Amino acid sequence: MGSTEALRAAGLDTRRIDDLIRAALAEDLGGGVDVTSVATVPADQVATMDLTARAAGVIAGLPVAARVFEIGSGGTCVTTPVRSDGERVQRGDVVLSVEGLTRSLLVCERTALNLLCHLSGVATTTALWADALSGTGARVRDTRKTTPGLRELEKYAVRCGGGENHRMGLWDAALVKDNHVVAAGGVAQAFEAVRARFPGVPVEVEVDSLEQLAAVVAAGADLVLLDNLTPAQTAEAVALVAGRCRLESSGGLSLHVAHAYAATGVDFLAVGALTHSAPVLDVGADLRPVARGQGAGHGQGGAQP
C-alpha cells in the first residue's frame, strides 16, 4: 500500500496533508536550494536513508513521512515502511527506509522527521494515559487544544496511541461551556437552546458542581463534562447520575491521578496535554550510500520541491 492509500485508509484528507507538506518543504527551501547538499553531494549520488527510533515509544505518522519524501523528490524516492503506525518501538528500531538521490533525501529529511517525531510523541503520550486507565472502563480523549493546521494529524496520532477523539471542531458536536452558560442565562437553558437549534448534533455540557449536574441531567443531557471535580466529587457525580448519561472528567488531570478518576466509573478523561504538551519521540535519519547514478528511475540533478 502506497503512502497516499495508507493516509486515506486512516481516514485522513490526503489533499490537506499534501498541501501541508508542500508548505513545509517550501518554508525550508525559501525559494532557493539546499546550499549545503548542492555543494557537497554529487548530483547523481543515490543512497538509502533509514529512519530509526532513538527512544522507546509508539510510532505514528509513517505514511506522512513517506509522503514527504515522495513529494519532495518529485516521486523518485522509493519508501519502504518497516513498522506500522500504532506499533510500540524500541531504541534502535528502523521504522522507515527510503531510497533515492541523496540530495532529495537530505532536502526532505527534516520535514519528515519534524512530523514523524511530533506525531509519534503524541501517540506515545496517549499510550501512557491509556496504560494508566487499563483495567477500568474509562477511555482517554483529546481536546481542541491542538497545533493550528495539525489537528487532523494530531487526532490521528491520538488514535494510534490508543485514545479516542473528541469533536473535530466547532461544527460536528456542541460543548456548552461556562461562557455559553453566562450568555444563555443558565446551564439548563444553554443545553436546551442548543438541542432546539441543532437537534441532530451531539451535545455535551460542562458543569462544575453537582447542582449543575443534576439540572442538566434532568433536562435530558446524555454527556456531561465534569470540570475540576475531585475524585471524591466525581464518585458522587457517578452515583447521582446512576447510568442516565455518560460522564467525562476534565481539568487538573495528571498521570498519577488518572487511575483514581477512572476508578470512579466515569466514561472518559479529557486530556489536552495529549496534543499541547506531548514531547517528541526522538527519531533520527542515517544515510547508507549506494552509488552514483545507480538508482532506478532517478534522473540527473535530483528533484527540488
- Cite the active site residues: 110, 145, 177, 206, 227
- Measured distance CA(164)–CA(129) in Å, rounded: 11
Closest CA to 142 of 156, 128, 121: 156
State how far the Cα of 281 lies from the Cα of 169, in Å rounded to an integer: 26
For residue 227 the three cell numbers come to: 470540570
Please give the DSSP secondary-structure letter assigned to residue 154. Answer: H
Three-state DSSP class for residue 259: helix
Amino acid at 126: T
**H-helix or E-strand spanning residue 17:** helix 14-29
- CA-to-CA distance for 123 and 79, rounded, in angstroms? 22
The helix, strand and coil proportions of the chain, stated in percent and rounded to the nearest 5, come to 45, 20, 35
Place of cell 487511575: 259
